[in-house]
Amino acid sequence: MHRRHFLQGSAAVLALASSGGWAATRTSRNALVMPSAPGVAPAPAAQPVGFAATPPLAPIHASVDRIIAINGCTRPFRAQGPRIEAERIGRKTVVHNYGHGGSGWSLSWGAAEHALRLVRSADADVRELAVIGCGAIGLTTALVAQRAGLRVRIYSREQLPDVRSFYATGVWSPDSRVCTSAEATAAFRTRWEEMARISFRRYQTLLGLPGEPIEWRDGYALSDVPFDQRIASPEAHEPDYPPLERDLLGDLGPHSEPMAAGAHPFPVPFVRRYSQLTFNLSTYARLLMDDFLLAGGELHTRSFDSPRQFADLREKCVINATGYGARALLGDESVIPIRGQTARLIPQPEVTYGLVWRGHNLNVVPRRDGILVQSQGPNDYNNADGAPDRAASEAAVRELARLFA
């Protein structure tokens, strides 16, 4: 309830008490009480019942023999930010929607809206649309276009669960490697903020669904030194990325808060608790695909080696959502691969919190399909090698185990 409503409610109670001839007094707790009759001792004020103690955190069973999957992926980074623009290729209108770095899932709904606007601007009477690519951006864009009344066909060489974005970390990270600080112009910041807010609002409508495709999770940032003290970063050799979320989205979601020693079980001196939007991608990606197919969408397996092959499609308008594949398809060398790798441990439903350990290159996400353990390599930037490195994942899991020894 708004503060104004509380004030109005108190005034109404006081007015009612005065009109009835009752003298209203206030206790030290600022509660309204009626005076007792002469010679009658007032009843003791009822004490509020305390809240139940917060349940203790369940430990993560971190051991290398519990690794059930190791996956590598390639994030399509562009220094200029995502390419969302239209051009004519032959007789087709092609709207590009790729290059979202590590923000593909987080910006997907907003990026889809921006791409669809360009489709409408190019052809206000469009009825059919081709989407090339079936990852986070392609699938979401197809669904947004379908809900806008278009008949949509997806053409993709790979399908779920074999698309790169299926192996993403799966957390709200709308400014993760989305552009460089040098390219974060005022116009870009405005466009990025709109995409992020559109996406955030959409994700709130997906909470509480069967299988929990989207959910809020608490997490704990751990540090061996005060949080305001700089430490070596695994991204030190990469470009400088702007803190867009901090600067422009401060009103979305709760802020982190420090935790006192003894209020947490972690063997580190500095801890902050945060809340984070989590994407359970096994459930969420299939939900998007099911919705698309149930509404009449079509999925065709097809490869494209050149944009000239777009001419073979029946649709006049095409959205190119090929992610890192756009580098080879279009010869777009502005798309830089950033390697990522995750390991999944056997699911632990009792573990409902994430972890970030500063200075130890460790990020943990409690997903429904397993405990996701991520660490960055020293040569991830401009690295298109998606082959899993088991030794790196085992080292990350052993580092995690130190917190629960």
Distances (CA, A) of 345 to 70, 72, 204, 259: 9, 15, 27, 27
- Residue 308 CA to residue 325 CA, distance in Å, equals 15
Q: Give the pLDDT of residue 24.
A: 32
Residue 96's region, left for phi above 0, alpha for psi from -120 to 50, else beta, is beta
Give, for all 405 residues of the chain, the pLDDT tens digit.
Answer: 332 232 233 333 223 333 333 233 333 333 333 344 455 566 667 778 888 878 899 999 999 999 999 999 899 999 999 999 999 999 999 999 999 999 999 999 999 999 999 999 999 999 999 999 999 999 999 999 999 999 999 999 999 999 999 999 999 999 999 999 999 999 999 999 999 999 999 999 999 999 999 999 999 999 999 999 998 877 778 999 999 999 999 999 999 999 999 999 999 999 999 999 999 999 999 999 999 999 999 999 999 999 999 999 999 999 999 999 999 999 999 999 999 999 999 999 999 999 999 999 999 999 999 999 998 888 999 999 999 999 999 999 999 999 999
Q: Give the pLDDT of residue 185.
A: 98
Burial 285-311 (b: 16+ CB within 10 A, else e): bebbbeebeeeebebeeeebeebeebe
pTM for the full model? 0.87
Q: Give the pLDDT of residue 5.
A: 30
Q: Give the pLDDT of residue 321.
A: 98
Distances (CA, A) of 226 to 113, 147, 231, 271: 41, 48, 10, 9
Phi, psi of 314 (to 5 degrees): -75, -25
Domain residue extents for the chain? 64-404
Residue type, position 75, single letter: R
Q: Using CA of residue 245, residue 246, residue 251, residue 252, what is the dihedral sign?
A: positive
Q: Give the pLDDT of residue 233.
A: 78
Q: Are strands 270-279 and 362-367 parallel, antiparallel or unpaired?
A: unpaired
